Chain A
Amino acid sequence: MKLIIAIIKTFKLEDVQTALSKIGIEGMTVTEVRGFGRQKGHKEVYRGSEYSVKYLPKIKIEIVIDKKIEEKVIKTIQNSANTGEIGDGKIFSFSIDKAIRIRTGEKGPKAI
């Protein structure tokens, strides 16, 4: 099993979710996060004062999937979250030891 974490632009969430649904991904955890990478922050001006916004809002998606579809999922996220501009985000993949469905106690890929 793999845990995929993707940091994407906030307005790309719907596109990514729709694309993942199409390849059969049935669940995900979504968090509003802030951070910076190469895009850095930007300046906002209010009433003549400049405020530097260092941490930009992003969306973090977490999905646990069967190892077999790892590449397909990564490709799907990459395609659907891509705008071709700086700040599109990152995708990380981790190996997962255990997964348990709380209600039934099912374990492993059946639980996801």
Chain B
Amino acid sequence: MMIKKLLYFTGIFLLSTFTGSLETLAEHHEPALDTGDTAWIMTSTALVLFMTLPGLALFYGGLVSSKNVVSALMQVIAIACLMSVLWLFGAYSFSFADGGDLNKYIGSFEKFLFNNIEWNALSGTIPENVFFIFQLTFAVITPALMVGAYVERIKFSSVLLISAIWLFVVYAPVTHWVWGGGWLAELGILDFAGGLVVHTTAGVSALVIAILLGNRSEFPNRVQPPHNPGLVMVGACMLWVGWFGFNGGSALAANANAGMAMLVTHIAAATASLTWMAIEWYKNGKPGLVGLVTGTIAGLATITPASGFVDPKSAFIIGLLAGSICWYCSVLIKQTFNIDDSLDVFAVHGIGGMLGTLMVGFLANESIGGTAGGLEQAKIQITGIVAVAALSIVATYIIVKIVQSTIGLRVSGKEAQEGLDITTHGERGYHL
């Protein structure tokens, strides 16, 4: 490794002597491209896209009734396509470009349409085009997570409109605050892979949408159970594997930090799965597949902000808390508060994301991520949670109200009864 680096720098040295500019070398402290890092982030990008397409789509598709499976799949893939295009049309720029005087809060138009970026420019040790598409896959999955809150009753056009506005008003600013050099980054917030950026924004906003949209007419007593637990399991496992890229890739390098992120991710997921399964076994007398894999997702969401900062022992604790607290909240939201967050987006992602963001404040291991946990760090984490949740609530409320008063939110009762597959998309999930 040392020899390789030595050769590399000798090469650069010779090259710059050849071009006759030794001064340039002296200024040239920026890291050079690292092929290992680049290869890993390209791999991670594919893994994270695979989480959404088809992982999340199948997960949600299996949880809805058989007359709405096409609609759930369609909502996820259409959001993925739309967010990808919007990422190019400004969302990346607002998230990661320098915002000048407003840089604390938002980026700028500088990188709109990939403008002002050399095709082979670097971001750290990887090409910026790789960083662009890696981050794109996060912007794709975040609004897609919210599908779980409004399935089986929302208008498809409203899904697209809400998601599009939301990407600019909630996702891009929060990404800039946390990862784009904004005010939370300056505070020293810890969010390794998106406990705030992805899961808190999506989970909290999902709850707001579910409340404003209203419950399914069959909720809570006559809703159909998940039509295909097998599909739910397949989707959850794709999410699980893809999460190695989500968290491991967020090291933005192929190194021990990435390796530790992957390890703690897996431990938390497995622990939360067993925890959720054990609770249901005790409560209902039977260990269920749908419950176990929901625990998996809760564990994964909760370890996300902590993944590059904690050790495996902490991951086990985070898994235990994720499995039990997220389970409790899923019951609380639906049964006590009577809110039809249909596929538990808030309980799993919102609570998971906030819980993990809080826990990393206490459990961060200085030797792993460079920051030690403690009361001071926890205060910063709480500031982040409150700010991100507040923006999510206010902005989503306004977005949904605007959409409601223009194109409307819900399909008619008759359409919902017949199922969105045939009434909205003209296709059936199953021809039997």
**Which A residues lie at the B interface, using CB under 8 A?**
44-49, 51-53
**A26–B112 CA distance with the chains assembled, in angstroms:** 73
**A48–B288 CA distance with the chains assembled, in angstroms:** 11
Cβ distance B156 to chain A, nearest Cβ, rounded Å: 25
How many cross-chain pairs have Cβ atoms below 8 Å apart between A and B?
30
Contact B334 A49 (CB under 8 A): yes
Smallest Cβ-Cβ distance to A49: which chain B residue: B334
> Scoring B residues 260 to 285 as 1 if CB is less than 8 Å from chain A, else 0, what string do you get?
00000000000000000000100110
Contact A45 B334 (CB under 8 A): no
Smallest Cβ-Cβ distance to A52: which chain B residue: B221
Contact A44 B225 (CB under 8 A): yes
Whether, in the assembled complex, B344 has its beta carbon less than 8 Å from a beta carbon of chain A, the answer is: yes
Could you tell me the dominant secondary structure of chain B's interface residues? Answer: helix
Contact A45 B288 (CB under 8 A): yes
Please indicate the chain B residues that have their CB under 8 angstroms from the CB of A52 in the complex. Answer: 221-222
Contact A45 B221 (CB under 8 A): no
Q: Can you pick out 23 interface pairs between chain A and chain B where the beta carbons lie within 8 Å of each other?
A: A44-B225, A45-B280, A45-B283, A45-B284, A45-B288, A46-B225, A46-B288, A46-B290, A46-B291, A47-B290, A47-B344, A48-B327, A48-B330, A48-B334, A48-B335, A49-B220, A49-B223, A49-B334, A49-B335, A51-B223, A51-B224, A51-B225, A53-B225
**Which B residues lie at the A interface, using CB under 8 A?**
220-226, 280, 283-284, 288, 290-291, 294, 327, 330-331, 334-335, 344
Cβ distance A41 to chain B, nearest Cβ, rounded Å: 12
Cβ distance A36 to chain B, nearest Cβ, rounded Å: 15
Please indicate the chain B residues that have their CB under 8 angstroms from the CB of A48 in the complex. Answer: 327, 330-331, 334-335
**A51–B294 CA distance with the chains assembled, in angstroms:** 17
Choice from A47, A51, A53 contacting B291 with Cβ under 8 Å = A47
Cβ distance A60 to chain B, nearest Cβ, rounded Å: 16
Cβ distance A15 to chain B, nearest Cβ, rounded Å: 26
**A74–B222 CA distance with the chains assembled, in angstroms:** 37
| Beyond known contacts A46-B291, A48-B327, A48-B331: 9 more, CB 8 A cutoff | A44-B225, A45-B284, A45-B288, A46-B226, A47-B291, A47-B330, A48-B335, A49-B223, A51-B225
Closest 4 CB pairs of A and B: A48-B331, A51-B225, A45-B284, A48-B330
Please indicate the chain A residues that have their CB under 8 angstroms from the CB of B222 in the complex. Answer: 52
Please indicate the chain A residues that have their CB under 8 angstroms from the CB of B294 in the complex. Answer: 47
Please indicate the chain A residues that have their CB under 8 angstroms from the CB of B291 in the complex. Answer: 46-47
Smallest Cβ-Cβ distance to B330: which chain A residue: A48
Which interface residue of A46, A47, A52, A53 has the most chain B CB atoms within 10 A?
A47
Please indicate the chain B residues that have their CB under 8 angstroms from the CB of A46 in the complex. Answer: 225-226, 288, 290-291
